[in-house]
Amino acid sequence: MLSNSRVAYREHNHLRCQNAAMQRARSLCEQHKVRLTPIRENVLRLLWQSHRPLGAYEIIEQLSDAGEKSVKPPTVYRAIDFLLEQGLAHRLATLNAYIGCPFPGNPHRFAVFVCQACGSAAESSFEAIDNAIGAAAARADFEVHGQAVEVTGLCPQCRGKADD
């Protein structure tokens, strides 16, 4: 079981998260002989600016603000597609948003836990979830190809604050 929930919801030196993610990305792209171009790298860095999932148009806006010329949707969507293909990012269907994967390189199914209060998301690859889904699928004689498990609720930090 891999999870970044210990760190994602807490105060922490996030620059380390970001730098480590960028380092892993460079390394994996080299390994896979694919190009982590400046655009792709910039998008990934934005996804890692925090543990909050980012919408495509937020990325477009931030990239446009950063550079001189306005960035168009296809540019960003292509970068996102690349990151998704390489397993460097995930798409959260319930939010129409994207998040950097903390465990790229380890092919994994995952569940994501999104805090409704602070917006932070942690990823967990907990085998028991996959196994339970597999068991339910087996009963239905269904062959699983992919899964999306997205949980909303309150993270420990936010739960402490407003405990109504």
Among 18, 50, 86, 124, binds a second copy (CB under 8 A): 124
Q: Which does 111 bind (CB under 5 to 8 A by kind): DNA, Zn ion, a second copy, none?
A: a second copy
Site string for DNA, 19-58 (x = CB under 7 A): ---------------xx-xxxx--------------xxxx
- Give the Cα separation of 50 and 97 in Å (integer): 13
97 lies in the binding site for a second copy (CB under 8 A): no
CB of 59 to a second copy, least distance (A): 20
CB closer to DNA, 69 vs 145: 69
- Give the Cα separation of 125 and 3 in Å (integer): 6
Stretch of 15-23, 31-39, 66-74, 129-137 lying at the interface with a second copy (CB under 8 A)? 129-137
> Is 81 buried (19+), middle (13-18) or exposed (0-12) by CB count in 10 A?
middle
**Four-residue CA torsion sign, 92, 17, 122, 57:** negative
DSSP 116: T
> Is 35 buried (19+), middle (13-18) or exposed (0-12) by CB count in 10 A?
exposed
CB of 49 to a second copy, least distance (A): 22
Among 1, 15, 69, 164, binds DNA (CB under 7 A): 69
